[in-house]
Every structure is written in C-alpha cells, then in structure tokens.
Amino acid sequence: MTLESYVYPDRKEELTSKLIDSYGKARWTIEEAYVLNLVMRRVRARRPRGVELSLDAGTGLGRLIPFLLRFSRRVVAVDPDDWRLSNASERFKGRKNVFFARAKASELGFLPDGSVGFVNFSHIAQHIPHHELVKTLGEMYRVLEPGAHLLFLTTHSEAEEMFVVSEEGGASEISEEEFERLASNPVPGKLPVRKFDVDALEELFRATGFRVEGKVYYHIKPEYAPSGTEGIQTPDLDGAMDMLTAPTDAGIAEVVRSIIKTLEDVNSSETDARKKALDVAFLLRRNGG
C-alpha cells in the first residue's frame, strides 16, 4: 500500500462514532478530556514557557490540534489519508501556526533530529501493522528533543493480546495474520483493531528508548460506569477540557466529579483497570535531557 493510494478504513469515523455512542458521547469526551488535562499539566510543569513545536502524528480530522495549541506555539499535523488531511487543513485555514503534511507517522524524514518538543499519537497504533509500529516509535524517538514527551493513546486487552475487525454489523475476533493483512492493505468499512497486551507494549517502549512517565486507563466500559451521565449536553473536547477546570452548572459539576471518581477508583488497581477500561494513555519520555 503506497502513500498515494492509502485510504483510512473508517474515513468518516462512522464505525468509531457507533462505539462512542454505545459508551455515551458526553462521558466518553469528558474522560478523554480528563486524561488530556493531566498530560497538559505535566508538560506545563516541565516546560512553563510551553513547547515550541508539537507533532500530531495521524491527525485524522484534526480533532486534537486544539489540545496541542494550548501549550504549543506551533503544530505540524501529518496523516497519510489525503481526504482526512484536507478536511483537517480546511478546519484550521488561516492559522499561521498550524501546518499540514501528507505522511505516515513512520516516515518523518522532513523533520530534523531532535526538532519536536511533544508528539501526540492518538489511537493509530492499534490500526497499523506491527513492523510499522516499531518503525514509527523509532521515528518519534528520533524527532523528539531529549527529555521530551510522547503521548501514546491506544486500546488494550485485559490480558493477552487479541485482534478484532470492526464493521457496520459489529466487531468480530480475527487472527493476527488477518489483522496484519487488513492493516497492511486497508479495506473501506473494515477497521482492524489490535488490543494490546499492556506488558508487551511497555517492553516495546523501553526497547525503543522511552520510559513510561505516566499511565492512565480510561473510557470505562458501560457496565462499570457511573449512572446519571446520560442526560448532560455533549461537549466538544475543547469544551470538556474547560468544563473540568471551571464547570458553570452545579448539576454538570456533580456528574463530572462522579466520572472522575470512577476513573480514579478504577486506576487504583492495575487488574481492575485492565478489566474495566477500554483504552490506556501512556505519557512516554525520551531518554536524555
């Protein structure tokens, strides 16, 4: 599959939207905002003046660019799907500090060594072949400044690694070989998903030269989630991040506290977290610096 012919299997995010709706869109967004706020505070504590250049690797429709702009003077966003990249570029048209390039996260030759102060890699790892993931981590290590951070967001399994394909009719388990085939040669409407073995993934990080500075499990499965979140108005991600720091409505503030408490309780036990959460966020730090 060449860069020119690449099409992301869930181009308009219809399959992803169905998954989010099954969890509750408002709660899904608030939980993600909670994680991003934790990361932002950690980055600002280390770099009070902010980051000069951040990389959004696999930007898709550019959803997380506003998050990066909260602490970055400039953002470069890359994606191999030209349609998604064009839509993201149009959204930020006129912003002189946001740049776009069609590229895979594993092929960042246009960026010099040690030129990036922060990398965001959100829910891309679970859709790409293993060899490309290894290459991608190596490229991110290369472009990051010594001591800089990589935010690695992905899905995971409760124990051993497993593979599924998500389609219009639902998700079904597939073999590793079938996953690698679909990830290497994408088919529209067939989204391959790798649910990582967390221990093996952490070992891969260490082998690349990263160290895990923080880890948070999130997107609590519906059967373990707090009740009473269904009726709140769904915020966008930027609004949810603001809501966490300064909620304007007492009822919403109570819901937010309930969601955060559940996240904190789940994360107090590694075993519980792997069982009860769909996703995991790793804040990785490049050695040196």
Residue scoring higher pLDDT (255 or 68): 68
For 158-181, how does the pLDDT look when each residue is reduced to its tens digit (9 = 90+)? 999 999 999 999 999 999 999 999
Tell me the C-alpha distance between 79 and 6, whole Å.
10
Tokens 């599959």 map to which residue? 1
**In whole angstroms, how large is the CA radius of gyration of the chain?**
18
246: pLDDT confidence band, cut at 50, 70 and 90? confident
90: pLDDT confidence band, cut at 50, 70 and 90? very high
Q: What is the pLDDT of residue 244?
A: 85
- pLDDT above 90 covers what percent of the chain? 85
Quickly list H helices, 221-283. 237-245, 250-267, 270-276
Tokens 């966020």 map to which residue? 281
Q: What is the pLDDT of residue 243?
A: 82
For 110-150, how does the pLDDT look when each residue is reduced to its tens digit (9 = 90+)? 999 999 999 999 999 999 999 999 999 999 999 999 999 99
Angle 125-128-130 from CA coordinates, rounded to 5°: 90
| Both tokens assigned to 209 | 């030269």
Sheet of 277-286: strand order equals: 98-102, 72-79, 51-57, 116-122, 144-155, 277-286, 210-220
Is 255 within 8 Å of 229 (Cβ atoms)? yes
Among 124, 112, 129, which Cα is nearest to 181's? 129
CATH no. of 14-286: 3.40.50.150
Kindly tell me the sign of the dihedral angle through the C-alpha atoms of 95, 98, 99, 104.
negative
Listed range (199-203, 252-256, 271-275, 276-280) with the worst mean pLDDT: 252-256
Is 259 within 8 Å of 31 (Cβ atoms)? yes
Q: What is the pLDDT of residue 255?
A: 85
